[in-house]
Structure 1
Amino acid sequence: MATDKYATIAEDVLRGVGGKDNVRSLAHCATRLRFVLVDPSKADKAAVEATKGVITVVEAGGQFQVVIGNTVSKVYEEAVAQGVDGGGGGGGAGGSGSLLARTIDLVTSIFTPFLWTLAAVGLLKAFLAVAVKISPGFGATSTYAIWFATADAVFQFLPILLAVTAAKRFKANQFTAVAVAGALIYSATIAVIPGPKGVAMTLQAFDAAGGKLTFLGIPVVMVNYLSAVVPTILAVYFQSQVERLVERVTPAVVRNFVTPLVTLAVVVPVSYLAIGPASTWVGDGLASGVDRLWGLAPWAAGGVLGGLWQVFVLFGVHWAFVPIMAQQLATTGHSDLTGALFAPVLAQSAATFAVFLRTRNRDLKGVAGPAAVSAFLAGITEPAIYGVTLRLKRPFVFACVGGAIGGAVAAAGGSAVDGFVVPGAITVTATLGLGNFALQLIGCAVAMAVAFALTLVFGFKDLPVADAKTVTGDEAAKGAGAAPTGTAAEDVVATLQTPVAGRVVPLAEVPDQVFASGAMGQGLAVVPSEGKVYAPVSGTLVSAMPHAFGIRTDNGVEVLVHIGLNTVELQGRGFTPAVTQGQRLNAGDLLAEVDLQVIMDAGYDPITVLIVTDPGGHSAVVPTATGDVARRHAALDLIG
Structure 2
Amino acid sequence: MATRQDFAPLAERVVAALGGPGNIRSVTHCATRLRFKIRENDKADLQAADAVDGVLTAIHSGGQYQVVIGNDVPFAYEAVTALDGMASKGVKDSVDEDGAGEEMDADGGDTDKNLLNKFIDLVSALFSPILWCLAGLGLGKAFLTLAETTGLLEETSDTYVILNATFDGIFYFLPLFLALTAARRFKVNQFIALSMMAPLVLPQIVALSEAENVHLFGIPLNSMNYSSSVIPAIIAVWVAGYLQRWLEKVLPGAVRNFFTPLIVVAVMVPLVLLTIGPVTLQLGNWLSDGLNWLLSAAPWLGGAVLGAFWQVFVLFGLHWSLIPVFLNDIAVQGYTLLMGPLLAAVLAQASAAAAVWIRAKDPERKKVAGPGVISGFLAGVTEPIIYGVNLPLKYPFYVGLGSGAVGGAIIGMAHGGMDTFVFPSVLALPAAVNVGTFGMTVLGTVVAVILGFVGTWFVVPMAERKLSGAAVIADAPAEPKTADVTGQVTVLAPVPGNVVPLEDVDDKVFASGAMGAGVGIEPAGRSTVTVTSPVSGKLIAVQKTGHAYGIRGDNGAEVLVHVGIDTVKMGGTGFSTLVERGQHVSAGEALGTVDLAAVAEAGYPATTLVIVTNTKKLTAVTPVASGDVAGGATILDIEN
TM range (shorter): 0.3 to 0.5
- Using structure 1 for the length normalisation, give the TM-score: 0.48
- Using structure 2 for the length normalisation, give the TM-score: 0.48
